[in-house]
Structure 1
Amino acid sequence: MPRYLRNFIIALVVIAALYGLDFVFQGRMINPYFSRIIMLSGIAITLAVSLNLINGFTGQFSIGHAGFMAVGAYSSAYFSVSYGASLAETLGGGTLGWAVALGAATLIGALAASLAGLVVGVPSLRLKGDYLAIVTLGFGQIIVVFLNNIEAVGGARGYSGIPIVKSFFWIFLIAVLTIVVVYNIVNSAFGRALISIREDELAAEAMGVNTTRYKVMAFVISSAMAGAGGVLLAHFDGYLNPKSFEFIKSFEILIMIILGGLGSIVGSVLGAILLTVLPEALRGFAEYRMVIYSLLLIILMIT
């Protein structure tokens, strides 16, 4: 069987499976609380796998992923609030109209985040060492300050009125696409160049690899996927607050990939699920929940 035909069949099977599971979730056949946790895990998978592209496979150290997530979330939310409903109605409303509107919002969020990644990455990735960590951390905090002072998106009060789309299909379609894109990048010539940069950047340069170009490209792709994750989060609850994107969120995503293993896609998926489920599983311990959560993280890290 030709490879393209096999991939096409696999894609159809995955889409059919996601659509079937979406029917189960929309039909409330699963407890809404568990449904929420599962969908939040899907969003976390997108964020973790995208960060692993730059931190795990390229060997750079970015700790501002929440900033790019915020850019994608707010830009898509503004589009949905201002133009999404009219676009959906123009297309006749219903499932098709809102699917196109959400698809457009996702593209806008990913594009805005990728442009932010390009602006941040071009000057900082020319340097070596921990400069990227410093720049991305600063970028994330600057974004939060800007969002707190932009009244068009609610400022410090938060941005409400965003169309709510709690779709298992859409959330996990983006997660699957993120995994597929990163997997194909890693197993391509482009991916081998990224891994060579991670292992020894000077040797990669000596072999003719344009390290700055490859690092910037990986960073832009990672930022775009973080923006897509932000789009999903914005439309999941219909409300955004700048506090949700402070540096703690970036560290949370970073812990996911470190826990799962840098340079491991499967590890990123498992780390994202674990760090989403664990705080909820510990709710029964009331005021001791975060203490136990922190201790468990330390134990998992050292083992």
Structure 2
Amino acid sequence: MSAAEKAVPAGDTGPDTRPGGRERRGLGDRVRGWWAGLSRPAQWAVGIPAIVIIALLPVVKPPFITTTAVDFGAMMAQFSMIALIAIGLNVVVGQAGLLDLGYVGFYAVGAYVVAMLTSPSSPIWGSEDHGFFSSSWAWVACVPLAIVLTGFTGVILGTPTLRLRGDYLAIVTLGFGEIVRLLADNLTDVTGGAAGLSNIAFPELLKSTTHPEGVFSNGNNRGTFNYGVWWFWLGMVLVILALLFVGNLERSRVGRSWIAIREDEDVAEIMGVPTFKFKLWAFVIGAGIGGLSGALYAGQVQYVDPKGFTVINSMLFLCAVVLGGQGNKLGVIVGAFIVVYLPARVQGIQVGGQSLGDFKYLFFGIALVALMVFRPQGLFPARQKLLTYGRQVYSAVKRPAAAGGTLGSREA
């Protein structure tokens, strides 16, 4: 094996070795290679304008991507919420390799924590006066509580079940998601039962005569800067914070342990990695991010009932991770956008008297089958490096290898 071949990391297809051949790579691989070649300041210089452009999309409403049957701002707000879920589920499924089919349970716990603490119809209070949880800052105060309590739920689920693997763990987590939904449906004295909880608190910010309840209220449903735009901006801030948090974990000992467990848990155990502890960390962190998304959902919709947390929604969350590329936190955001945007884009198209958006589960099922056949790694597969300073090491090795390849071609 030549020095140039040794320099190619795992997962890289490498250059085409045929005479006169060029490097054959997909568009996603070229974009990822270009991005990986940038320094950290250059990445920020490119990323910040890109974030600003994305933030302005629901304000500008470009005609070639704007939805017609659904408000574009509300759709983007839903996308930011699903993107948070995809990031949290990617920690469990993509990073640690734990197949979780009941992630919607964590999402439900986060939503119900906010609902039970702030809704006037919450049975646990017995009155509409909730003290501090009836104030303008009630939703903001409930968000950290939702994260902590949902993370604790991850501990309760993960401690007895993470000794299981593969299909067995998938069945247990699937049961957990159904247990949470059934409890919410049957514990009428706590959750309100099938009737749900309404008038849930939201951030009452930027009040004015035009918006007496603030810009995040559902009453702000007209104009360019409607409530969907504001919720999308808030969701973007939370997504960026989650990306920074998860990205730092990936580059730490925790992230490297997750990758080792995902690739081969037995070998990781033999090499001294405390696999149970790091799998539990993945469950807790993923649950906490799911609880954050649930809190965002409760405040945005201002109504929670058990029908919003079915198993089919959990499958949809997993679909976003698989489509985007397991282990790639930016790829799963693209997957979340596809899952939310495509049904909304075709919502107004009627075929046989029924909207195409109603067939979203059929379309995503076909897409997953095709993806597993032609590109099982997802649209944007992850290229993991177990080294803490993998970017610098890869760049240092690649430069001499490229120089050697050029010299060899001249001699030939």
1:171 aligns with 2:235: yes
| 1:75 to 2:113 alignment | yes
CA distance in 1, matches of 2:276, 2:364: 38
Name the residue aligned to 2:14: none
Please say if 1:253 is aligned against 2:321.
no
Whether 1:153 aligns to 2:191 is: yes
Q: How many angstroms does 1:128 deviate by?
A: 2.6
CA distance in 2, matches of 1:88, 1:113: 19
Aligned to 1:54: 92
Q: TM-score, with normalisation over the residues of structure 1? A: 0.83
Q: What stretches of structure 1 of length at least 5 have no aligned partner? A: 1-5
Q: Relative to 1, partners in 2 of residues 1:296 and 1:59: Cα closer, same or farther, differing over 3 Å?
A: closer
Offset of residue 163 of structure 1: 2.2
- What residue number does 2:397 align with? none
Question: Which residue does 1:34 correspond to in 2?
Answer: 72
Q: C-alpha distance in 2, partners of 1:241/1:60?
A: 28
Pair 1:102 & 2:170 matched? no
Residue pair 1:77, 1:105 contacting (<8 A) in 2 also:
no
Q: Which has the higher contact order (CA 8 A, sep 6+)?
A: 1
Quick one: distance in 2 between partners of 1:208 and 1:74?
39
**Number of residues of Structure 1 aligned to a counterpart in Structure 2:** 280
Q: Which has the higher helix share?
A: 1
User: Residue type of the partner of 1:39?
Assistant: A
Change (3 A) 1:21 1:163: farther
Aligned residue for 1:178, secondary structure, equals helix
- Tell me which amino acid in the other structure corresponds to 2:265: E
SS of 1:283's partner is: coil
Matches within 5 A, 1:68-147: 68-81=106-119, 86-87=131-132, 97-98=136-137, 101-147=138-184
- In the other structure, the counterpart of 1:298 is 366
2:221 is the counterpart of 1:183 = no
Q: Using the alignment, how far apart are the partners of 1:226 and 1:145 within structure 2?
A: 19
Q: Supply the AA of the counterpart residue of 2:201.
A: P
Q: Distance in 1 between matches of 2:233 and 2:130?
A: 20
Identity, in percent, stands at 33
Cα distance, 1:150 vs structure 2: 2.1
The one of 308, 330, 335 equivalent to 1:271 is 335
Verify the 8 A CA contact 1:120 1:135 in the aligned structure 2.
no
Judged with a 3 Å threshold, the aligned counterparts in structure 2 of structure 1 residues 236 and 85 are, in CA distance, closer, same or farther, namely farther
Q: Does 1:43 align with 2:107?
A: no
CA contact (8 A) 1:22 1:168 kept: no
RMSD: 2.9
CA contact (8 A) 2:110 2:292 kept: yes
Query: Does the residue aligned with 2:276 lie in a helix, a strand or coil?
Result: helix
The Cα shift of 1:226 comes to 0.2
Residue by residue over 1:144-196, the C-alpha shift from the partner in whole angstroms, topping out at 9 and shown as x without a partner, is 11111122322111111212445333222221112111111111111001000
**Long gaps (5+) in structure 2:** 1-40, 61-65, 203-215, 217-226, 375-412
Please state how far the C-alpha of 1:67 moved relative to its aligned partner.
Answer: 0.5
Separation in structure 2 between the aligned mates of residue 69 and residue 137 of structure 1, nearest angstrom: 13
* Cα drift, residue 42 of structure 1: 0.3
| Aligned equivalents of 2:264, 2:172: Cα separation in 1 | 22
The 1:121/1:173 distance shift into structure 2, 3 A limit, reads same
- Structure 2: how far apart are the matches of 1:292 and 1:275? 9
Q: CA deviation at 1:294?
A: 2.4
Cα distance in 1 for residues equivalent to 2:347 and 2:58: 29
Per-residue CA deviations over 1:189-218 (Å, capped at 9, x if unaligned) read 110010000011111001100000000011
The 1-side partners of 2:151 and 2:95 are apart by 18
CA distances 1:9-68 after superposition (whole Å, capped 9, x unpaired): 99xx79x969x869969xxxx998111001100001000011000101101100111101
Partners of 1:131 and 1:110 in 2: how far apart? 27
State yes or no: 1:213 paired with 2:277.
yes
Structure with max Cα Rg? 2
Give 1:88 shift: 7.0
- Cα distance, 1:296–1:54 mapped onto 2, change above 3 Å: closer
Q: Please state whether the residue corresponding to 1:184 is helix, strand or coil.
A: helix
Task: Report if the CA contact (8 A) 1:114-1:220 is conserved.
Answer: yes
Distance 1:88 1:161, change over 3 A: closer
Range with bigger deviation, 122-131 or 205-214:
122-131
Taking structure 2 as the reference length, the TM-score comes to 0.62
Most deviating of 149-158 and 132-141: 149-158
